[in-house]
Structure 1
Amino acid sequence: MATIERKAPAYAAEPAAVAALVEGRHGDPFAILGMHGGNGQPLVVRTFQPGARAVRVLAGEALVAELTQTHAAGFFEGEIPLRQEPFAYRLRIAWAVGESEIEDPYRFGNILGEMDVYLLREGTHRKLYEKLGAHPSEMDGVAGTSFAVWAPSAQRVSVVGGFNYWDGRRHPMRNRIECGVWELFIPGVGEGELYKYEIIGADGTMLPQKSDPVALATERSPSTASIVKGLVDRPSRSNSWMVRREARQRRDQPISIYEVHAFSWRRVPEEDNRQLSWRELAEQLVPYVKDMGFTHIELLPISEFPFEGSWGYQPIGLFAPTSRGGDPRDFALFVDACHDADLGLILDWVPGHFPTDPHGLGHFDGTALYEHADPRQGFHQDWNTLIYNYGRREVSNFLLSNALFWLDRFAIDGLRVDAVASMLYLDYSRASDQWVPNKYGGNENLEAISFLKQMNELAYSEVDGAVTVAEESTSWPGVSRPVYLGGLGFGYKWNMGWMHDTLNYIQTDPLYRRFHQGELTFGLVYAFSENFVLPISHDEVVHGKGSLINKMPGDLWQKFANLRAYLAFMWTHPGKKLLFMGCEIAQWREWNHDSSLDWHLLADGPYHKGVQSLVRDLNHTYKKTPALHEFDCEAEGFEWIDYLDAEKSILAYLRKGTDSNRFVVVVCNFTPVVRHGYRLGVPHGGLYREVINTDAGDYGGSGVGNGGVVEGVEEGFHGRPASITLTLPPLSTLVLEPY
């Protein structure tokens, strides 16, 4: 734009600097805008107000100067007569229609303190979310919002939003070159305002507008703006769950997890199939899980994500609970509801990769900032996503701070870390010429390993009672061993091998199961090498794998009998439990994230209701029976009675607790043949009560059993001093305990 034709006054800014400012190219706006002078120099105020007719400077209610327009685009400047030192001022702006008064953003000081800068530069600012992002706040008694974003290679960064007509020229930010953060306090901007960052990259290219990496709230997809939102109050720490949380999540405690995709668990068909809000889930999901006897809910990722079909596993807003369920305070209410119901809440957390959406983290400041620059290390070929550069201290700090954010600010009880194997191995799912060895020539991702160890150490040292869980699908040693013992430091690890082997077995026609007995028993070879969770997760009921009930062979009756026997085998096997929603009602359809579970099946005869009743009873039995959980992760808690009867596809074993007299006997018959007079060795004689019979009529079974009680006799068998003789129902699991 042309400069107004007049002689430049003595206080005028350099024309080249003004031109860069009004063209949106100036990277140091505080060098021009705001109040300058003092200490013997004349005071000058400069402001850029596109479209303004006049600008006046006010001190209190007094008019102290009228600024001169020195650039036609709307740049105003002028001396302040009779004043020698800087003072707080406001601007009165005359527009084509009407006037407005504003506080000048460029009269306010730094947002980041010296310690913030030091910690950010060092990569140890664990409460990043308290400084970066957008925070409603006050400066010098003036209400507004403090914005701060890390973009060290950018030439210019501006806050844009409805408050400035999405015009990046109006609010360019201060560059804290000491730590690469751009900051600006904008008076008058409050909660609920939409905003993004407009960034000119390192090469001078204007980038797509970026969402805030540390936004605490966002618009609902497909909209992509961030929302100004204050930090939520921390949920209550005084309820019984929080007081006893550390003890409740130990290895010797019952942990039974209901895995949930929050927005397809139940929908409202009468209202265009809408999803439930966090508040509705607090009212409906929480009581259901409590009644079913689970100890924990695990949510698929709820950090804001753009693509519904990713189920949350491709997040962009890592610090924002997804707006699909409401605002962050609604999510905090849901957390409180879980804890008030004595339920733990685990979140799936995704530090392994992020999507390439243009408003996201990719190429954030015009460089490979969050992602590794080398595509052999920074691009995930399976998922077409970008991989974090764990070796960059600011990136690892971003992720570590995010982990602590969920555990601290929302009192989340645990993080289940997704796709750990993809982080550990440089050659994960890559051809031999598509990966870069580490400095020792190996395939271990040393930076990711260091990050995971640090994350686990922080989680356990900074947050009382929290746990971490690894979804790790290889035989990496010591995943759930402490870092000081050479492990990765997770509390628990998903047992993917057990899941694959046992599902393969149960899908086999009973006629041929005698050739596959090892698929059930092999898991006991390594069952105590880690603190395992036995997972039947969402991954097993999607993408053509079929629902859990549809994996079962045989006719209708056999399918349900197989499923009931398998679930009881799982609940009595060493390891904590995880079951994906819908499996407890034997849903026929594969899981579909766009629709509700098929709750109507519970009114469709006894079978579905029977499976649900069994899962409820398994959970309550698991919780109240120390022998079934105290040694879930120790070899002392398991003992084979007989694993060699492959011909009949029968397994029998003991589960034991710290009280040697409080054991249970488990017998699985994985054929549709009733076995009469089946003898087993037991520790002692006396009466044994049937605690669980998966063939019971209440579960939709045929009702074959032992009348609820059998008597042990002092006749040795299976190398034990006593024995019991049972009727084994078809396709069943029995659990018995001595009186």
Structure 2
Amino acid sequence: MNSRKDLEGGANAVVPGRQDIEGLINATHRDPFAVLGPHSDGQGGQIIRAFLPGALSVKLIARDSEEVLGELPSTSVPGLFGARVEHVQPYRLRINWAGAEQTSEDPYSFGPLLGEMDLYLFAEGNHRDLSSCLGAQVMNVDGVPGVRFSVWAPNARRVSVVGDFNIWDGRRHPMRLRHPSGVWELFIPRLEAGETYKYEILSAEEVVLLKADPMALATQLPPLTSSVVASPMSPDWQDATWMQERAHHQRPDAPLSIYELHVGSWQCELDDTGEVARHYKWTELAQKLIPYVQQLGFTHIELMPIMEHPFGGSWGYQPLSQFAPSARYGTPEEFAAFVNACHVAGIGVILDWVPAHFPDDAHGLAHFDGTALYEYANPLEGYHPDWNTLIYNLGRTEVHGFMLASALHWLKHFHIDGLRVDAVASMLYRDYSRKAGEWVPNRLGGRENLEAIDFLRHLNEVVALEVPGVLMIAEESTAWPGVSQTTEHGGLGFSYKWNMGWMHDSLHYIQQDPVYRAHHHNELSFGLVYAWSERFILPISHDEVVHGKHSLIDKMPGDRWQKFANLRAYLSFMWAHPGKKLLFMGCEFCQWREWNHDQQLDWYLLQYPEHQGVQKLVGDLNRLYRDYPELHDQDDVPTGFQWLIGDDATNSVYAWLRWSKEGRPLLVVANFTPVPRAAYRIGVPFAGAWHEILNSDSELYCGSNYGNGGAVVTEDVQSHGQGVSVALNLPPLSVLILQPTG
């Protein structure tokens, strides 16, 4: 096979049958490997075929040298080249295109690539590292570099990889179907990271669909919609100490104070007119955000979804790429470096993650292979009326496994410390936000979504096993029992649940004019009735400062001074209340306007003393919270809390003790009227001096500085069931926290 005479073109055996020819020309062939590439001729040689529409000529080149083995002649079928070869030998194709020459191995000369165990685990819905299996994987096959593409499309008639590398021609790279998994695969030699691509899918109804890769590890910058072949990640992880100690930092009796932010609007680069010129990249964000979070004393940041999403106005809650960080802020490797920098600085990173629903963009998951593949087929099950989105069919094992793998992808490959699972309530109930007759009962006739419940339990079990010590947090707004109970005890297995009831009640109370607060007194105390039914996070999130709800400072009643005093009191009440803490960006310095995802925060407000005062208070609250076990180590048990005064509605005063495991108390007293109250008597458990460790009305925070001179001494006067008591001066609209000496 060393001269052109060894290649016999044009023989009848070289040209396939009419059905195969029509399948290749019309891009409808279900098994291109049966026709293209090398095939035995039954006589010790091979028949080699290549379908290259638009090619001018093709030569065969030895794979391990530049030796030209001969011409691969064109056949009577336009674009089809073929010849009989006397000897079997690895080869490459040297293709002459108009204006360009390309040399590469033949994609159809490689055998099946995905392992049977990978396909089995995928079909079972239990592949723990799917992001290293499906999608576009840069790899070497038989010593040849290239990219292996694989995608699940079981009902497709044909799937091709298309991109700039083949001028988006679906006839060039049709894929092999692996039975019975429904996964299509193809290795394209010499392709490199950075290439854009999609899958061209021919449905059973012969509709051509152009779809982004559900398993893409990188994407184009929206509004462009192609997937991008990602380089294999090799982050320079320097967070070994954090990772070893993470479980200790995140145990239930540890302080957890979360700063929630939207990456695109925390801070931006502005143009000369003050408008947003561009988003910061992860490297720049790390340089600016990390020192700020350290200064404020938060233990964690929580990022609103950074998975790629086509519409920025969804804030990330309608993602289409469950494995790719948004190209808006940099590459996957840059995101990993950001997480690493947070860990080195002692800051945990939580991601919002959305397994409930996805948008119906044409290039996305909707009707992926011409059928309802990822979503329920029945719109009464598969369409979400609140968000105009589609609902994942988590009862399908492959979809169950897809979302399970997404969670593990972020936790394992990016060292993420926790996932806040969005819209859990909408997952639990089939009739969520639906009227009678607009939903389909489960197989038992009930309203619970049994498939989603099974998924959430399995998710939390697998995460606890595979990535022990991470946080799984449920945004769940109903009375569903046992959200944060272990699955062994019938719970859903989350680490924490957002306390939406506390958030609604406490915000409703604080927005009342103080004159009317006596009539709403129980709204602040009611949360203690159920405070230990779950492990709770107290959330003041982005949802509370948008859509006409007003910013946090603008919710407060009264004149300017009272607004700031109310907010200082409210935040102090929140930090002294049982439950972990979450505060949305901008609330810590009293942004007046509602949050706008298209603009950065109003940082200029920090030139004013009142705004500086609240920011300083938040930092001091976080430091107290972290330094005093009384405020965090018995958050989820009733022994950590003791009411002293819960019934003084007339004065809108509350007082309670927070107890540490070691039996040390802090006294918390709140006065939610603008009236200073002198010598207000409160019983305390220990005699002696009680020192103020926080006064939200301090001049440090731009308050009136009314108080107790830093300390009070008990008197032998019984009160509130205690043998001794203190007579406190309660500042207006304030919270005091006091510590006994000795």
Identity rate, percent: 57
Question: Is 2:501 the counterpart of 1:497?
Answer: yes
1:66-105 → structure 2 map (5 Å cutoff): 66-81=71-86, 83=87, 86-97=88-99, 99-105=101-107
Which residue in the other structure is 1:232 paired with? Answer: 233
Q: SS of 1:377's equivalent? A: helix
Deviations 1:631-672 (A, max 9, x none): 011111000001111000000000001111x21000000000
RMSD over aligned Cα, in angstroms?
Answer: 1.3
Query: 1:237 Cα deviation (Å)?
Result: 6.8
Query: 1:270 Cα deviation (Å)?
Result: 2.9
Query: 1:134 Cα deviation (Å)?
Result: 0.5
Question: Is 2:692 the counterpart of 1:690?
Answer: yes
Q: Contact 1:460–1:467 at 8 Å: present in 2 too?
A: no
Question: Is 2:55 the counterpart of 1:46?
Answer: no
**In 1, distance between residues paired with 2:697 and 2:10?**
98
Deviations 1:548-585 (A, max 9, x none): 00100000000000000000000000000000000000
Q: Contact 1:216–1:229 at 8 Å: present in 2 too?
A: yes
Q: 1:474 is matched with which residue: 474, 478, 481?
A: 478
Counterpart residue type for residue 407 of structure 1 = L
Q: 1:443 is matched with which residue: 443, 447, 462?
A: 447
Query: 1:424 Cα deviation (Å)?
Result: 0.1
Q: 1:551 is matched with which residue: 555, 560, 567?
A: 555
Which residue in the other structure is 1:536 paired with? Answer: 540
Change (3 A) 1:713 1:269: same
Q: Contact 2:303–2:350 at 8 Å: present in 1 too?
A: yes
Counterpart residue type for residue 345 of structure 1 = V
Q: 2:152 is matched with which residue: 150, 153, 156?
A: 150
Counterpart residue type for residue 247 of structure 2 = E
Q: SS of 1:577's equivalent? A: strand
Q: Contact 1:233–1:409 at 8 Å: present in 2 too?
A: no
1:329-348 → structure 2 map (5 Å cutoff): 329-348=333-352
**In 1, distance between residues paired with 2:257 and 2:556?**
23
Q: Contact 1:665–1:737 at 8 Å: present in 2 too?
A: yes
1:502-517 → structure 2 map (5 Å cutoff): 502-517=506-521
**In 1, distance between residues paired with 2:187 and 2:729?**
76
Query: 1:235 Cα deviation (Å)?
Result: 6.3
Q: 1:311 is matched with which residue: 315, 323, 336?
A: 315
After TM superposition, the structure 1 stretch with the greater mean CA deviation from structure 2, 314-323 or 116-125, is 116-125
Change (3 A) 1:562 1:659: same
Deviations 1:387-412 (A, max 9, x none): 00011000000000000000000010
User: How many residues get paired?
Assistant: 728
Question: Is 2:67 the counterpart of 1:62?
Answer: yes
**In 2, distance between residues paired with 1:97 and 1:482?**
65
Q: Contact 1:681–1:717 at 8 Å: present in 2 too?
A: yes
Change (3 A) 1:17 1:446: same
Query: 1:38 Cα deviation (Å)?
Result: 5.6
Change (3 A) 1:71 1:172: farther
Counterpart residue type for residue 561 of structure 2 = W
Which residue in the other structure is 1:427 paired with? Answer: 431
Query: 1:490 Cα deviation (Å)?
Result: 0.2
**In 1, distance between residues paired with 2:98 and 2:245?**
64
**In 1, distance between residues paired with 2:236 and 2:716?**
56
Counterpart residue type for residue 51 of structure 1 = G
After TM superposition, the structure 1 stretch with the greater mean CA deviation from structure 2, 6-15 or 144-153, is 6-15
Query: 1:64 Cα deviation (Å)?
Result: 2.9
Change (3 A) 1:370 1:44: same
Counterpart residue type for residue 263 of structure 1 = G
Question: Is 2:715 the counterpart of 1:710?
Answer: no
Query: 1:231 Cα deviation (Å)?
Result: 3.7
Q: 1:653 is matched with which residue: 652, 656, 669?
A: 656
Q: Contact 2:138–2:232 at 8 Å: present in 1 too?
A: no
**In 2, distance between residues paired with 1:565 and 1:174?**
65
Query: 1:119 Cα deviation (Å)?
Result: 1.2
**In 2, distance between residues paired with 1:146 and 1:355?**
27
Counterpart residue type for residue 249 of structure 1 = Q
**In 2, distance between residues paired with 1:612 and 1:71?**
78
Question: Is 2:11 the counterpart of 1:11?
Answer: no
Which residue in the other structure is 1:213 paired with? Answer: 214
**In 2, distance between residues paired with 1:574 and 1:473?**
18
Q: Contact 2:217–2:229 at 8 Å: present in 1 too?
A: yes
**In 2, distance between residues paired with 1:579 and 1:62?**
67
Q: SS of 1:247's equivalent? A: helix
**In 2, distance between residues paired with 1:97 and 1:694?**
74
Query: 1:111 Cα deviation (Å)?
Result: 2.0
Q: SS of 1:77's equivalent? A: strand
Q: SS of 2:455's equivalent? A: helix
Q: Contact 2:421–2:475 at 8 Å: present in 1 too?
A: yes
Change (3 A) 1:127 1:7: closer
Counterpart residue type for residue 620 of structure 2 = D
Which residue in the other structure is 1:617 paired with? Answer: 620
Q: 1:175 is matched with which residue: 170, 177, 185?
A: 177
**In 1, distance between residues paired with 2:666 and 2:327?**
47
Q: Contact 1:235–1:411 at 8 Å: present in 2 too?
A: no
Q: SS of 1:134's equivalent? A: strand
Q: SS of 1:436's equivalent? A: coil
1:207-286 → structure 2 map (5 Å cutoff): 207=209, 209-233=210-234, 236=237, 238-270=239-271, 273=276, 274-286=278-290
Q: Contact 2:239–2:343 at 8 Å: present in 1 too?
A: no
Deviations 1:195-254 (A, max 9, x none): 0110001211112x1110000000111000100003423663753322211011111000
**In 1, distance between residues paired with 2:414 and 2:306?**
13
Query: 1:275 Cα deviation (Å)?
Result: 1.2
Counterpart residue type for residue 183 of structure 1 = E
Change (3 A) 1:201 1:42: same
Change (3 A) 1:20 1:625: same
Which residue in the other structure is 1:3 paired with? Answer: none
Query: 1:7 Cα deviation (Å)?
Result: 7.8
Counterpart residue type for residue 597 of structure 1 = L
**In 2, distance between residues paired with 1:90 and 1:441?**
61
Question: Is 2:395 the counterpart of 1:391?
Answer: yes
Deviations 1:456-499 (A, max 9, x none): 01111110211100000000000000000000000000000000
**In 2, distance between residues paired with 1:161 and 1:74?**
19
**In 2, distance between residues paired with 1:392 and 1:565?**
49
**In 1, distance between residues paired with 2:10 and 2:600?**
72
Deviations 1:32-80 (A, max 9, x none): 1100006635410000112222222122333334223124531111101
Q: SS of 2:357's equivalent? A: coil
**In 2, distance between residues paired with 1:483 and 1:342?**
31
**In 1, distance between residues paired with 2:499 and 2:76?**
68
Which residue in the other structure is 1:160 paired with? Answer: 162
Query: 1:324 Cα deviation (Å)?
Result: 0.7
Deviations 1:292-313 (A, max 9, x none): 0000000000000000100000
Change (3 A) 1:350 1:71: farther
Deviations 1:498-534 (A, max 9, x none): 0000000000000010011100000000000000000
Q: 1:327 is matched with which residue: 319, 322, 331?
A: 331
Q: SS of 2:218's equivalent? A: coil
Query: 1:24 Cα deviation (Å)?
Result: 1.1
Change (3 A) 1:230 1:96: closer
Q: SS of 2:674's equivalent? A: coil
Q: SS of 1:533's equivalent? A: strand
Counterpart residue type for residue 303 of structure 1 = M
TM-score by length of 2: 0.97
